[in-house]
Structure 1
Amino acid sequence: MTSSPDISKLKIERSAKAQIPGRRARRRKWVRLALLAAALAAAAAVAMRKAGGKADVDTVTVAQAYPSQNYTLLNATGYVVAQRKAALSSKATGRLEWLGVLEGSKVKKDEVIARLENRDVSAALGQAQANIKVAQANLEQGQAELLDAQQAYKRAGELLAQKFIAAASYDSALARYNKARAAIAAQRAAIAAAQAYAQSAQVALDQTVIRAPFDGVILTKSANVGDNITPFSSAADSKGAVVTIADMDTLEVEADVSEASIAKIKAEQPAEIQLDAFPELRLAGVVSRMVPTVDRSKATLLVKVRFVERDPRVLPDMSAKVAFLSQAVPAQDKAAVTAVQPAAIAAREGKTFVFVVENEKVRQVPVTSGRKVGELVELKGVKPGDKAVLNPDARLQDGQPVSVVKK
């Protein structure tokens, strides 16, 4: 009898049947995770390799800051103005014959600056002085005549007492004596008149000479030798002022302060003056006075700030900035310090540093931060002018190529 075939070996185990799909599911899961990781890596690589494989960064310039900012209550702008200034001319009218100064010349009080043609006035003075000598000679002659008349009158009195002469002779001697006395008074008056005329001629001569009214510096030269000078410059082709002079010791900054900020300022308040021409120059000042009139059109008050520290480079009409301070700046806070925005400072693993951009790469520079200076932070380890990365990314590394984002 033929036996039936054994088909038990063809039976599929259910456990193996269930295991195959499970492995495939796990495999598909890992593949998906690997693809996701690759996509994230690719995205990160794309983000870090923009602009030719360089990371985009924003930079800020390391600057010099002055700690005096911490004492500033108010800022204002203005101009340097000489409080003692004069346009020099002559009361006389004439042609400018000599000019002894140039722009920038330093002069002393009463020093001769210029001179007009004065030969006619000089001749008049010479004539007046000669008249004085003539009057003095007449006085000497009159005094001699008075002495002779006095002696004759005395002798006539003695002879009359002895009945040697008639009374008429005595009267004649008396009249001569009185006449000589009157002549003396007239001659003295003539001398006084001649001296007054000579003084007038001297004044006229002095008016042809232009002198410095005070110690100062010549600012401008308005006339040249040969120009006609008139007191009020009313004639055609004539000049009024010859030069303009200023006393540099009276330089002050005149600043307009908003009417709403007047309460922050008072007389003798310390201030710091910065000139636009010399930004690195910071000069101590003090509020000299406040002009007691408000400009209605601008709603400002004119405040004058006197220089406590002077510099020969300060000139009239320079633009200036004035910082009104709560107190005088201490000596240790007068020097500039290196400072940067706080957002440029990074910290990792307990170390503080900044990323400085050099040759399209970043260099990690260790720094030490200090006090706050205005909106900046004092920093040691970098120098003014360095380009520091602002808000550096946590993945930014030392030596990494970067591209600076242009704003």
Structure 2
Amino acid sequence: MDNDISKLKIERQPLLATPRKSRHLGRWIGIGIAVLVVTGIGFSMANRPTSVQLTSVTQAYPSQAITVLNATGYVVAQRKASIASKATGRLEWLGVREGSTVKAGELIARLENADLKANVAQAAANIDVARARLQEARAELQDASRAHDRALDLKQQNFISNAELDQVKARLDRAKATVAGAQSGIGAAAAGTEAAKVAVANTEIRAPFDGVILTKNANVGDVVAPFSSSAEAKAAVVTMADLSTLEVEADVAESSIGKVKVGMPCEIQLDALPDVRLKGVVASQVPSVDRSKATVMFKIRFVEKSDRVLPEMSAKVAFLERELTSHERTPKMAVNPAALAGDGKEATLWQIVDGKLKRVPVQRGEKLGDLQTISGPVKIGDKVISKPTDHLKEGGAAVVAEK
């Protein structure tokens, strides 16, 4: 056996050295991939829609430039009434509804009054009875007067005694008293008739002045009582107001009352009619201060009237330095100055149309308070970017940011 241990030796092959060219190639591939990633990210960021916020093109009134003070209040009718009945009874008829126009003295509602009308008929019959009694008393008076005349003639001839003459005189006096009593009875019956008619009239509810029915508080069949003396009874059947006496009652801070005076021109805007501006004038000042609010109430009369103005509407009042001209009463298109890009008279607004940015050239006008008047190819209500930046581009993608 060959015991040559050298044959058991493991031959180790030396590792092949990596070529330098391969190492440089891998490095350039990594750099290229990094450049592609960065370029893709940059391209994605460049084409990502710009997030913006919007504001509206609004309208502004030139009166804002000469407004001394603003106040809020409510439209109130200076002549109004809650109409009730003087009598207690069940409502039999109601002839109006909300919005009905009525004239002074017009019948609005009526309570059940058949028994009271019967009393009127009975009182009228009592007058006829009293008149019949008067006729009877007058006939008796005539007969007693003739008997008295005959008795005087007979007494002068001593055909009757003094006692008989006294009886004739007493009969004449009684007849006269009976006539007087009958005449008084007619007066009493007539007064009773008037009282019965008044009782009937108390069941008829009439309009105290020309006006419009505001609310209906009772229905046919309801019990109506003065002062609502019963828990189930209605006091006022309807409420009404004279709409020709509408005024705005506005509260002015106690510290600002020196800025307002009676006769001062005003402009009234109603919350229910935001596009309507009505001329007004300070009619009066309430001579007391509301201690809880530290305000003084001023009443503003409408110089211009509108059928759409209703009681209890909330209103804003602008107290003006002077009367407005007809030109100053026309609203102008305006926007928040921050929405305008560019300096000088020429400016730019940005809009979003189909998700793309659009440049809109406009011209600046006068400043009205916090707004800038503009003119150009936009209209009131259009949405524009509220705070445009320099990186906005025509045609670029844009989305509205959530507030």
Contact 2:254–2:289 (8 Å) recurs in 1:
yes
Conserved? CA contact 1:62–1:388, under 8 Å: yes
2:381 corresponds to which of 381, 385, 391: 385
Q: Relative to 1, partners in 2 of residues 1:120 and 1:345: Cα closer, same or farther, differing over 3 Å?
A: same
- What displacement does 1:247 show? 1.6
Counterpart residue number, 2:252: 257
Question: Aligned with 1:138: secondary structure?
Answer: helix
CA distance in 2, matches of 1:251, 1:367: 42
May I ask how many residue pairs the two structures share in their alignment?
A: 365
* Cα distance in 2 for residues equivalent to 1:101 and 1:111: 10
Structure-2 change in CA distance of 1:83 and 1:349 (3 Å): closer
The partner residue of 2:397 within 389, 394, 401 is 401
Contact 1:90 1:230 in 2 (8 A): yes
Per-residue deviation, residues 144-191 of structure 1 (Å, max 9, x unmatched) = 332333344334444544566555554444333332222221111111
Please name the residue that 2:204 is paired with. 209
Quote the offset at 1:217 in angstroms.
1.6
User: Once the two structures are superposed, what CA deviation does each residue of 1:320-377 show, in whole Å capped at 9, x if it has no partner?
Assistant: 2121222222221222211112333344898444333322333333333322222222
Structure 2: how far apart are the matches of 1:179 and 1:99?
55
Please show how residues 85-234 of structure 1 align to structure 2 within 5 Å.
85-161=80-156, 167-234=162-229
Whether the 8 Å CA contact 1:356–1:365 is kept in 2: the answer is yes
Further displaced range: 112-121 or 146-155:
146-155
Corresponding residue of 2:315: 320
Is the CA contact (8 Å cut-off) linking 1:57 and 1:389 kept in structure 2?
yes
CA distance in structure 2 between the aligned counterparts of 1:174 and 1:220, rounded to whole angstroms: 71
Bigger mean CA deviation after superposition, 97-106 or 55-64: 55-64
- What residue in structure 2 maps to residue 16 of structure 1? none
TM-score w.r.t. structure 1 length?
A: 0.81
- SS of equivalent to 1:178: helix
Residue identity matched to 1:371: E
1:305 aligns with 2:300: yes
The amino acid of 2:183's aligned partner reads R
Name which of 325, 330, 345 aligns with 2:325. Answer: 330
Q: 4+ runs of 1 displaced by more than 6 Å?
A: none
Contact 1:51 1:403 in 2 (8 A): no
Alpha-carbon shift at residue 207 of structure 1 (Å) = 0.8
Which residue identity is paired with 2:62? P
Q: Tell me by how many angstroms 1:260 deviates.
A: 0.8
SS at match of 1:279: strand
Give the deviation of 1:258 after TM superposition: 1.0
SS in 2 for 1:289: strand
Contact 1:275 1:318 in 2 (8 A): yes
1:66–1:334: 8 Å Cα contact kept in structure 2?
yes
Percent of residue pairs bearing the same amino acid type: 52
- Length-normalised TM-score, structure 2: 0.81
Cα distance in 1 for partners of 2:104, 2:343 equals 69
Q: Is the 8 A contact 1:56 1:404 kept in 2?
A: yes
Q: Which runs of 5+ in 2 are unaligned?
A: 1-37
Q: In structure 1, give the amino acid aligned to 2:86.
A: K
Structure 1 residues 121-148: Cα deviation after superposition (integer angstroms, max 9, x where no partner):
1111211111111111211222233233
Any idea what the Cα deviations from partners look like across 1:275-330, whole Å, max 9, x if unmatched? Answer: 11221122222222221111112111122222222222222222221212222222
Specify the SS of the correspondent of 2:221.
coil
| Cα displacement string for residues 253-289 of structure 1 (whole angstroms, at most 9, x for unaligned residues) | 2222111111111112222221112211222222222
Alpha-carbon RMSD across the aligned residues, in angstroms, is 2.8
Return the alpha-carbon distance in structure 2 between the equivalents of residues 290 and 84 of structure 1: 17
Matches of 1:59 and 1:233, distance apart in 2: 57
Which range moved further: 343-352 or 139-148? 343-352
Q: Which runs of 5+ in 1 are unaligned?
A: 1-41
* Counterpart code for 2:187: A
Name 1:83's counterpart in structure 2.
Answer: 78
1:236 Cα deviation after fit? 3.6
**Structure 2 counterpart of 1:178, one-letter code:** D
Structure 1 residue 72: deviation in Å? Answer: 1.3
Q: CA deviation at 1:58?
A: 4.7
Q: Compute the displacement of 1:402 (Å).
A: 3.4
The one of 222, 231, 235 equivalent to 2:230 is 235
Code of the aligned partner of 2:107: V
Change (3 A) 1:348 1:106: closer
Alpha carbons of 1:132 and 1:350: their partners in 2 closer, same or farther (altered >3 Å)? closer
Instruction: Give the distance between the partners of 1:348 and 1:112, measured in 2 at CA.
Output: 70
Structure 2: distance between partners of 1:368 and 1:403: 26
